[in-house]
Amino acid sequence: MAKTILIVDDSASLRQVVSIALKGAGYETLEACDGQDGLNKLKGQKVHLIISDVNMPVMDGITFVTELKKLPEHRFTPVIMLTTEAGDSMKQRGQAAGAKAWVVKPFQPAQMLTAVTKLVMP
Amino acid sequence: MSTDDVLQTFVAEARELLLGMEDSLLALERDPRDGEAISATFRAIHTIKGSAGLFSLDQLVAFAHVAETLLDLVRDGRVAVDGDLIALLLECSDYLGFLINQIAGEEVADAATQEARRPTLLARLQACIASSVAPSASQAESPRQAPPSAVPAAGEVADPVHNDAWHISLRFGPEVLKNGMDPASFLRYLGTLGEIAHITTLWQQMPAPEAMDAENCYLGFELDFRSEASREAIDSTFDFVRDDCRITLLPPRSSIDDYLKLIAEAPEGLERLGEILVASGALSQAELERALERQRQAAPPALGEMLIQEDGIPAPVVQAALEKQAKGRENRSAATRFIRVDAEKLEDLINQVGELVIAGASATLLSQRSGDTALIEAMAQVGRHVEEIRDRALSLRMVEIGESFNRFPRVVRDVSRELGKDIELVITGAETELDKTVVEKIGDPLMHLVRNSMDHGIESIEERLARGKPAQGRLSLHAYHESGSIVIEVADDGGGLKRDKILAKAMDRGLVAPGQALTDRDVFNLIFEPGFSTAEQVTNLSGRGVGMDVVRRNISALRGSIDIESQEGVGTTMRIRLPLTLAIIDGFLIQVADSAFVLPLDLVQECMELPDGERLQSRGQSSHYLDLRGEALPCLRLRNLLNLEGESSQRENVVIVQYGNRRAGLVVDRLLGEFQTVIKPLGQIFRHLRGFSGSTILGTGEVALILDVPTLVHDASGREARLLGESNAGQAIGSEQPA
């Protein structure tokens, strides 16, 4: 069965590009537009990996990961943070919250795929 | 934008890169394993070469190319980092700097000599390139990895093992699973990069079932991995778990010493891992025995070293280094958000803002005269915005003083070698901001002070040891803000100034009359007199007696001052005090007779009315003392001091100003309040007037002079000492009588 990946980002175009790349590689994808939406989408759903932006309206990525780590059924799910190049401190905050993987924006779909396959094979 | 403009950008960028490269090289000198410093050096040269190519600067490109080739080898660990290499690269950086100066169209004094260095430098670079080793003895790049053994300087890898596979040693940390990381997924990914020839799973760290936490990871792996992928690609597999894991990557045909180190550090114990390596084919039995034999022979020092590298480093030191690194990275990436603006445009903007401030003051004045409340309020609103714009505009020109400081590590390194001294440079407050024009002009005086401290201040190693001081001298540069000024200290822990020697010399030169009583401060300040030098031996660095007076002149030209504090045998601190900006300040407007004057508001401490009794007593004198809550405050009566005639007012006020640690009172007629002051320089004829630092235009269109508070305070508080000196020497110099 294909592995499911949740993409949390407020940019619809980014979600689409990533989603297309991941589907092409044989993953299933889910999309959410912010952290709160992400938590909602996770309810009763098994996902193998989460890709989340940091700066988002409603609930930012750091809070999202912090909340995620409190959910018994999802706390072992790996998270890839999308950081900007200047956001080294943000990366550290993300790591402290429990998101140990990251991809620096802007990225090529292939780079994202590489990061994803390190964590979850399709 | 013309090509010429772009070329200017290139020049500025290249200079910045060279400076950064120097920093990295110096960092590398401290820690030859600093992978980030090697990469930064490489990137600098690489970028310079790349951009130079766009401008067809073939000479530069050709030279940079050779340096880049060498650095590439260094980065791959194929050329060892040692003192000679760093010295060579620093010289290359100097030479590139020279080429860039030429490109910038600057006059270069010793162009021929500089150009003559090229063939020698190229030959030395080529020699280093030729000495590179086979592309295998790669150095570890990540600080998390085990420190690599010393790479042999030339020839083949010392004692390589026979196998042609990578050896990867992995120990996953307990937190890995909780972080959502599955060790197996990384191994699967690794499988996409090549062939895992052999894998041994290590589970010895797993505790007894009752003590085991099922959510912790206790696994380790020893892998033999055949792959054509680059080290970077293999290494990056573990990017996401690097923080939690111990990862050691040994390239094919690594030296046996690298394996030895791996074995020595393995938590499983020496014999056990040795067996694993033999079993997996990473090492032959013979190689293992050879390694263990060497281990036994070299055991005490080598093991000790390993322990220090692994455990002995105090945690705060590591933490600090990491933070610094992180900050450096942030700064670098922040650079991408900057816009380069021609300094002239900023200058124009600030001049315009200056005009706006003056025009605003005049409009405010008119509004107040009209008595129209609505208008006055509207003008006040405008005034606030103007003030805001003024501050923002001025802050555009503020840069961190670090820009001036960052050339010093190199200078200190070179000069201390030249002098045979061991000197550590400590820089603090590099982030303190001040006006760009000041930063540019303070470089030379600072350089002189630093060289002076190193040459004359800090003693030779033998002398230091004899005095019970540490052999390593300490030179510190410290910058901080203090009431509208920036203070820059150059301090050393050397021998201090010798008061008697300076005094004797000064009398010899006729700078001081015999018997004249001088405070320590006065004596120390004598070294700033033209033609003064106490150095017994003239070195090629300093000691010719030119310079210290120039230092003071340069600093005065920036409306600053310099002060010395020194204790014999303990050290000397030179304290430079400079105004934060040279353009617009918050002023305090006062009136004496019919003239208005401006004081920098930052220097004003308080104002008070001059008590009647004091008034009568002090009338007619230009200076006297005031009892300020028990403190004897030297006061200057501006009316008398400046010989202003005009009706005297019924009441007089005292404005108490402070500069550095000295205070003085200025007796004035009226206090007119705060005033935004656009500083206009004094005309050539008035330049030498003592006591004025500039002029400004008032809202009425009248000109007001800006009082030079440092000079006034100095005069007021120095008067007492001078008077004492005069009476002791039995001679009267000034015309004033003691109060």
Same domain, B117 and B181: no
- Stretch B38-44: mean pLDDT: 83
pLDDT of residue B153: 39
pLDDT tens profile B725-736: 444 443 333 333
Going along chain A from its start, the domains and CATH numbers come out as 4-119 (3.40.50.2300)
Of B554, B579, B604, the residue that ends a domain is B579
Same domain, B74 and B91: yes
Of B397, B419, B435, the residue that ends a domain is B397
Interface A–B counts its CB contacts (< 8 A) at: 59
pLDDT of residue A32: 92
The answer to whether the beta carbons of residues A100 and A77 sit under 8 Å apart is no
B80 inside domain? yes
Q: Count structural domains, chain B.
A: 5
**Nearest CA to B432 among B479, B389, B483?**
B479
Reported confidence tier of residue B249, pLDDT bands at 50, 70, 90: confident
B679 inside domain? yes
B160 inside domain? no
Q: Measured at the alpha carbon of residue B105, what is the angle toward residues B104 and B109, in degrees to the nearest 5?
A: 110
- Which residues of chain B make contact with A86, given a CB cutoff of 8 A? 330, 333-334, 336-337
CATH number reported for the structural domain that contains residue B243 in this entry: 3.30.70.260
- pLDDT above 90: residue A47: yes
Same domain, B477 and B367: no
pLDDT tens profile B629-666: 888 888 888 888 888 887 777 788 899 988 777 888 89
Same domain, B91 and B215: no
B180 and A78 in contact by Cβ < 8 A?
yes
Reported confidence tier of residue B302, pLDDT bands at 50, 70, 90: very low
Could you tell me which chain A residue has the CA closest to the CA of B180? A78
**Nearest CA to B463 among B424, B421, B508?**
B421
Of B107, B130, B153, the residue that ends a domain is B130
Pick A100's closest partner by Cβ from B237, B243, B329: B243
Same domain, B450 and B477: yes
Same domain, B387 and B282: no
Q: Please indicate if any CB of chain B lies within 8 Å of the CB of A70.
A: no
Same domain, B41 and B119: yes
B70 inside domain? yes
Looking up tokens 């004596």 gives B523
pLDDT tens profile B166-217: 888 888 888 888 888 888 888 888 888 888 888 888 777 778 777 788 888 8
pLDDT tens profile B327-364: 554 554 444 567 778 888 888 888 888 888 888 888 88
Same domain, B27 and B174: no
Same domain, B74 and B187: no
**Which H helix or E strand runs over B317?**
helix B315-334
A101 and B240 in contact by Cβ < 8 A?
yes
**Nearest CA to B245 among B381, B339, B165, B144?**
B144
* One-letter amino acid of B244: D
B603 inside domain? yes
Same domain, B540 and B629: no
pLDDT of residue B737: 38
Same domain, B365 and B413: no
Same domain, B33 and B47: yes
Residue A32 CB-density burial (10 A; 0-12 exposed, 13-18 middle, 19+ buried): buried
Q: Please indicate if any CB of chain A lies within 8 Å of the CB of B243.
A: yes
- Full residue range of the structural domain in which residue B195 is found: 166-297
